[in-house]
Each structure stands twice: as structure tokens, then as C-alpha cells.
Amino acid sequence: MHFDTLAKDWDNDPTKTERAKIFANEITHFIKPNKNWNALEFGSGTGLLSYELKDVFDEITLVDNSEGMIDVLKEKIKKSDITNFKPLHLDLLSDNLNIGTFNVIFTLMTLHHMPNLNKILNIFNSLLKPNGYLCIADLVKEDGSFHYEYPDFDGHNGFDKNELSEFLTNNGFTVDYYNICFEIKKESENKTYPLFLMICKKVH
């Protein structure tokens, strides 16, 4: 699996740590988490975003379908003696979801890999407690060049704010916050790709 091979060196890129800090600050500033809340990170990778949020939640469940990423994450948890992380190697789209419910779900650069948006948003809704928050950090709609080196990529070329908002509304959410707060620079193409944070609330 593609992400298994990347896992070992994933944290060596300082821009990944930087963007995790920026998104964590934006999330914390807007939702002002209660220290008793629990959270789920979907597509956690090595847990960079959760690491920046570890002190604001009681417990964070980190889910990824890449075994390599979860293995690296487990090593980090052990090394840093983090006691409130619960790493799970599973596929939310197909595995039995007996993982409880959450006050907050957050995801960073994962949603664009999900071909069926309605399915994953419906799952998020079912995993959230009433009035729970869904925080999506991802690519602004682009021309398809972001994944040009992966011809078998079958996800989304980023997201248009209005189109994604419509999907969320249709799956029981209201969009409460939107901000473009980071950009990825690809020197090889001399291009930059903006990333947004959208925070939504479960309404039904």
C-alpha cells in the first residue's frame, strides 16, 4: 500500500508538522473543546494533528487503514509516553464500527481520497454525538495536478466550498466555519496548493 511505504519518513517533512500546528490552533480557537470531550482522527497517519491536540481532549481515537502508519504511530506513543491516544488500524468504510461515539471528528488531507463522499459523511454523522463537530482540513479545488504522479488516483481534486457544503448539508451538518489557512508548495511544479479548514456541526 502506498502510504505504508511512506510511513517511516512521514514525520521528516517539517511542513507537515507546521500545518498540523496551524490547523490544531484554528480548530481549538473555534470549537473551544471541553477537556472531558473525546475525539476521533480519521486518516490519522502518524498522528501529527492529534499530537498537537492531545492536551485539549480527554481521549483521541486515531484511525487509519495503513498498517505502516499505525505502526509508526504506536512507536511514537510509546516513545512520548502519551496516555490518551487509542490507535486503531481499520477501514471506517468497511469494518464493523464498534468504536463508540465522539464529540469531535477531525481529518487532515484525507477526505479527498474518499470517492464516495455521501458514504463517509454519513458514517461521520453516525459516529458523532448530538451537536458534535466535524473538522475537515483539505485541498481547495485544483486542476488535478496535485496527484499527477499517481495515475491511479480515484479521489477528488480538492473541494469547492459550496459543493462540499451541499454534501454536508445533505448528510445532517451545518457549516459553521471556513478558512484557507495553509498552502502546500510543490517546487517541482512551481505551484502552490491552498488548504482550507471547514468546521461543521451535526444537526440531525
DSSP 90-143: --TTTS---S--EEEEEEES-GGG-S-HHHHHHHHHHHEEEEEEEEEEEEBP--
Rounded to two decimals, the pTM is: 0.94
Is the pLDDT assigned to residue 30 strictly greater than 60? yes
Is the pLDDT assigned to residue 14 strictly greater than 90? no
Is the pLDDT assigned to residue 2 strictly greater than 60? no
Average pLDDT over the chain reads 92
pLDDT for res 189:
75
CA 74 centroid distance within chain: 18
| HSE (side-chain half, CA atoms, 13 Å) at 170 | 11
Q: Domain residue spans in the chain?
A: 2-202
- Contact predicate 105/39, CB 8 Å: yes
CA distance 56 to 73: 19
Rounded average pLDDT over 91-116? 91
pLDDT for res 11:
63
pLDDT for res 10:
53
- Contact predicate 140/193, CB 8 Å: yes
pLDDT for res 8:
60
- Contact predicate 84/37, CB 8 Å: no
CATH number of this structure's domain 2-202: 3.40.50.150
pLDDT for res 3:
53
Residue 133 pLDDT class (50, 70, 90 cuts): very high
Q: In sequence order, what are the residues at sequence separation of 6 or more whose Cβ sits closer than 8 angstroms to the Cβ of residue 105?
A: 39, 40, 41, 42, 124, 127, 128, 132, 133, 134, 135
Q: Can you give the length of the chain in residues? A: 204
Percent of the chain with pLDDT over 90: 79
Residue 96 pLDDT class (50, 70, 90 cuts): low
Q: Which residue has the higher pLDDT, 58 or 190?
A: 58
**Residues 42-61: pLDDT tens digits?**
999 999 999 999 999 999 99
pLDDT for res 98:
85
CA distance 93 to 17: 27
